[in-house]
Amino acid sequence: MSDKAPKVTLRTLAAEAGVSPATVMRALNNHPNVTQGIRRKVIALAMKRNYQLPEHYAKLIAVIVPDGSSFDGYTGQLLNALSQEFLARKLQFEVIVGRNIETVHEHAYSGVISTIWETGLEKQWPEEHTLPLVVLNAASNILGGIYQVTSDEKQGITMGLEYLLQHGRRRIAFVSTPLHDNPNARERVNAFNEFCRANHLFPDSFHEEHTIDNPLERIARTVIEKKADAIFASSETYGFEILHYLRRSDIRIPQDIAMLTLELPRFSPFTSPPLTTIGQDFKSLAFHAVETLLCRIKNKPCKQKISVPYLFFERESI
């Protein structure tokens, strides 16, 4: 006698839910002719039984973004790259704000990609959800089945610092995003500290964390007071505001202070002077995130962590 559990099919799911197979199909495909109550019942049962529609039906992906996301910087670039990847693969996607994450229970998503960089989701998800999840530039949980695609922070930061050092800059101010619950930001600072120790750049080089109590205008003043000869701003948007404050203080770029920032292609080439940058390879990040998620959906083997190297854009600010 076999102990193997009976296969869950569209018909067995429909019988258990007390509706027709056609209704189950419509509910899982988010068809408008199904009531919200029936849809929730069918989706909850499908998740409980770990049932997914056959591959040729499974084409809706959820993309979770942080609360309060600004779409003119990092998040916008990432979503644009993901949308192009989904389009190329003929997949549909919907964007969900982090605070509304429970709405994944109301639609028949095949899988989820999260761009929330704060820690916590990687622990919460396996306890409350069965959908495959891939995290982008965020903490993973391999034991919980949550795989990770991330930019190679150490490689990118080291590449930028080496370029500054090659150009004779040894008093480097490294400006980071807030470190609280942000593992990628901490990785960048760790890479900066490691490089400075190895090249004997301390104490002339230093780290400034951008917080509510330490705004960019104050950081710019600190950089001037400490006589830094270079700024490395590890955010796609910080460089423009810092550049404004430095120019207002009659600081010449790059004669007095060199500037290296993260790439924002709509603006970085058009500042005065154009900014030298390192850039996250958003196209590759999107490709690997979607590829990994599809492998998870199909229960195929794939890498648990993929690191994507940064790109370098040499311009006139160094």
pLDDT in tens, 242-290: 999 999 999 999 999 999 999 999 999 999 999 999 999 999 999 999 9
pLDDT band, very low/low/confident/very high, at 1 (cuts 50, 70, 90): very low
Residue 268 tokens, joined: 């970085």
Look-up: residue for tokens 């490691």?
Answer: 194
pLDDT of residue 29: 67
- Any idea what DSSP says for residue 162? H
Amino acid, single-letter form, for residue 224: I
62 sits in which H/E element: strand 60-65
| Residue 97 reports pLDDT greater than 60 | yes
| Residue 8 reports pLDDT greater than 90 | no
76 sits in which H/E element: helix 74-88
Q: Taking the model in full, what pTM does it have?
A: 0.83
For residues 286 and 84, the answer to whether their CB atoms sit within 8 Å is yes
Mean pLDDT of the chain, nearest integer: 90
pLDDT tens sequence across 196-241: 999 999 999 999 999 999 999 999 999 999 999 999 999 999 999 9
Residues 6+ apart with CB under 8 A from 67: 97, 98, 99
- Any idea what DSSP says for residue 272? S
